[in-house]
Amino acid sequence: MRRPVAVSSVLACSLAVLLGAASGPAQAWSALGHQLVGELAQRHLAPATRAEVARLLAGEQRPTLAGVADWADRLRDLDPERFKATSRWHYVNTPPGQQCDYVAERDCPDGQCVVGAIQAQRAILADTTQPLETRRDALKFIVHFVGDVHQPMHANNHDDLGGNRFQVSLRTDLEPEAYARRNYVDGVMGTNLHSVWDYYILGTEGLSLPQYADRLDALPWPPMPADGPGTGAAAWAGESCRLIDARDVYPPVHKMDAGYLDHFRPLAEQRVRQAAWRLAQVLEADLGD
Ligand SMILES: [Zn+2]
CA 279 to centroid of ligand 1, rounded, Å: 15
* All structural domains of the chain: 9-284 (1.10.575.10)
Closest CA to 170 of 276, 113, 101, 251: 251
CA 235 to centroid of ligand 1, rounded, Å: 18
**Residues 6+ away with beta carbon under 8 Å from 178:** none
Q: Helices 132-150 and 47-57 meet at what angle, rounded to 10?
A: 110
pTM value? 0.89
Identify the pLDDT of residue 178.
86
Identify the pLDDT of residue 1.
27
In degrees, rounded to 5, the angle at the alpha carbon of residue 166 between the alpha carbons of residues 72 and 195 is: 35
CA 186 to centroid of ligand 1, rounded, Å: 30
Please give the Cα distance from 221 to 138 (Å, whole number): 26
pLDDT digits (tens, 9 = 90+) for 97-114: 878 989 999 999 999 999
What would the DSSP string read from start to end of 165-211? TSEEEEE-SSPPPGGGGGGEETTEEEEEHHHIIIIIHHHTT---HHH
- Strand-pair category, 188-192 with 184-185: antiparallel
pLDDT digits (tens, 9 = 90+) for 117-147: 999 999 999 999 999 999 999 999 999 999 9
CA 52 to centroid of ligand 1, rounded, Å: 24
| CB-based burial label for 133 (10 Å; 0-12, 13-18, 19+) | exposed
| CB-based burial label for 171 (10 Å; 0-12, 13-18, 19+) | middle
